[in-house]
Structure 1
């Protein structure tokens, strides 16, 4: 079964308030086996439009990724994030096919 990923692009308006979201989301992420692969480091925009911060989180599978997002634990954390940031996020399933 392929892994799944949250891919988020975020603009943060209040870094100290956003820090409370990061603390709160740890509960849901631990419960659903999440692992950060990218967490807002330096990035270089090459094409199109993007927000200032990029986050990629790996989950064991698409069900875990989706269940985590809809969980009461994550929705409580998200309620802290929403007033202090703007985000675009997708959940995508990983690719397990042949590589070039």
Structure 2
């Protein structure tokens, strides 16, 4: 069964409040087996445009990735994030090639 991934690109307007989002998302991420593969860090845009922060989370399955996003716990965290940042995020199925 393929893994699931969240791929996000974010512009943060209030770094202090964004830290509250990070604290709030820890519970749902643990519950659904999320593992950070990319969490901020240096990045170099080679084509197109990008937001200043990129994040990639790996979940054990696509279903777990979707369930985490839809969970009450994550939606509570998301409300904090939405107030202080803008971004783009997709949930994608991994490749088992």
Category of TM-score, reference length = shorter chain: over 0.9
Q: What residue number does 2:67 align with?
A: 67
Counterpart-to-counterpart distance in 1, 2:4 and 2:46: 25
Q: SS of the counterpart of 2:41?
A: coil
Deviations 1:16-46 (A, max 9, x none): 0000000000010010000000000000000
Distance in structure 1 (CA, Å) of the matches to 2:5 and 2:15: 24
* Alignment partner, residue 36 of structure 1: 36
Could you tell me how far 1:49 is from its partner in structure 2? 1.2
Structure 2: distance between partners of 1:82 and 1:57: 18
Shift of 1:75: 0.1
TM-score by length of 2: 0.99
Q: Which runs of 4+ in 1 moved over 4 A?
A: none
The TM-score normalised by the length of structure 1 is 0.96
In 2: Cα distance, 1:74 partner to 1:87 partner: 16
Q: RMSD value over aligned CA atoms? A: 0.4
Q: Quick one: distance in 1 between partners of 2:48 and 2:39?
A: 20
Equivalent positions of 1:1-100 (< 5 A) are 1-97=1-97
SS class of match (1:96): coil
Larger Rg: 1
In structure 2, stretches of 5+ residues that fail to align are none
Unaligned 5+ runs, structure 1: none
1:49-99 deviations in whole A, cap 9, x for unaligned? 1100000000001100000000000000000000100010000111011xx
